[in-house]
Amino acid sequence: MSEGHISDITLLIDDSIREDLGTSVENTCNREPLISVIVPAYNEASNIEKLFKGLKKELEVLQCYEVILVDDGSSDGTADLARRVASRLGLRASIIRLDVNSGKPRALLEGFSRSLGMYVGVIDADLQYDPKDLVAMVRNAIDHGYDAVFGERIDPSRDLVRKLVSLGAKILAKLLIRKAWKARDPTTEIYVIRREKLERCLGAIRPRIKLGLEILVRCRLNRVSWIPVTIRPREGEESKFKFIWIPSYLWQILELTDYFTLRYIVGALAALPISILLWNYIGILAPFVGAAVKWIFIWRDIGLGSTLAVKALATAIKIAEVAAWPVTALIELILIHLLRGTRI
């Protein structure tokens, strides 16, 4: 990636906790790699061998590729093992290890910032996706000139609760985010994007739980395609899915939603119970905290300056209302005097 964008992203992760374990084989093709495949990995040691074999077999047909595995503070030696396996297999791979677990989205952003390929692809380390699908996506992008190709996940093995959670997440994104309306799988985790397009929007992408959705919404993608990918049941290491991800997903949706009014209403509705709950603790300050909650929702749409200006105007109107009370009372009194004795 170009220097400017590298600095944007690397700022997210302190240099002292990042270690580049090097590249397994000479990573330079005669030209830029066709694809950089970013693999986020957290405690995936038992899957590395099979993962790398699969990637090598499929990516070799593209000749010029690079794999960037970002180990995110694993405690099972994922990074060391990955380096050894990559060099044994002759896989063109760079292994980056972050000492502190920073979460999948930050790991992906770190990988993006290191990528050199014409296309950047993302695939999980847990063997649930077939690298063949990634190759099909690049081919699709090249053949038809797509800016990005996303995988539409078909997951026959998921349990009912996860299926329902996933369906709810998709519906919510489609309903609230205009750009996600036509997306066949807005929460997808496997995709390929033209690096040139990614570079332009990297500064706007936040490290949120569904980075594919961030890319879909925040990057200017003129032509996008979807191809079906079947998810295999997880083998080896256990799932890292946590239900705590659900509120952070909801937050991401609220950030990405086009519906400003909805955000305002959610903020306004949250303000009242918050004020009531806090009343016992901070008394008269509670309504101010409640109001602040409402305004935080709006702040990101119009900026801090405008938020303060609107708030100042609204407060001025309220003060004027209160100040006008004696005047209105006086007018009422005069009217009562004038009308005394008459009945309409």
Catalog residues that contact Mg ion under the rule CB under 5 A.
Answer: 126, 128
Contact map string, positions 258 to 277, toward ligand GTP, x by CB under 6 A: --------------------
> Does the protein bind ligand GTP through residue 151 (CB under 6 A)?
no
Nearer to ligand GTP (CB atom), residue 44 or residue 199: 44
> Does the protein bind ligand GTP through residue 208 (CB under 6 A)?
no
> Does the protein bind ligand GTP through residue 40 (CB under 6 A)?
yes
CB of 240 to Mg ion, least distance (A): 8
Between β-strands 119-122 and 35-41, what pairing exists: parallel, antiparallel or unpaired? Answer: parallel
Interactions with ligand GTP, residue window 100-129 (CB under 6 A): 101, 103-104, 107, 124-126, 128
**HSE of 172, CA atoms in CB hemisphere, 13 A:** 19
Nearer to ligand GTP (CB atom), residue 156 or residue 341: 156
Stretch that binds ligand GTP, among 41-49, 208-216, 256-264, 314-322 (CB under 6 A): 41-49
Q: How many helices (H) and strands (E) does the chain have?
A: 12, 8
Which of 53, 139, 208, 234 forms a contact with ligand GTP (CB under 6 A)? 234
Buried b (16+ CB within 10 A) or exposed e, 86-116: beebebbbbbbbbeebbbbbbbbbbbbbbbb
Nearer to ligand GTP (CB atom), residue 100 or residue 339: 100
Rounded CA separation 74/110 (Å) = 16
Q: Which does 110 bind (CB under 5 to 8 A by kind): Mg ion, ligand GTP, none?
A: none
Q: For CA atoms 250, 254, 258, 263, give the dihedral sign.
A: positive
Spell out where the chain has E strands.
Answer: 18-23, 35-41, 65-72, 93-98, 119-122, 148-154, 191-194, 224-230
Q: How far apart are the first and last CA of the chain?
A: 81
For binding to ligand GTP (CB under 6 A), which residues are involved?
40-42, 44, 70, 72, 101, 103-104, 107, 124-126, 128, 234, 239-241
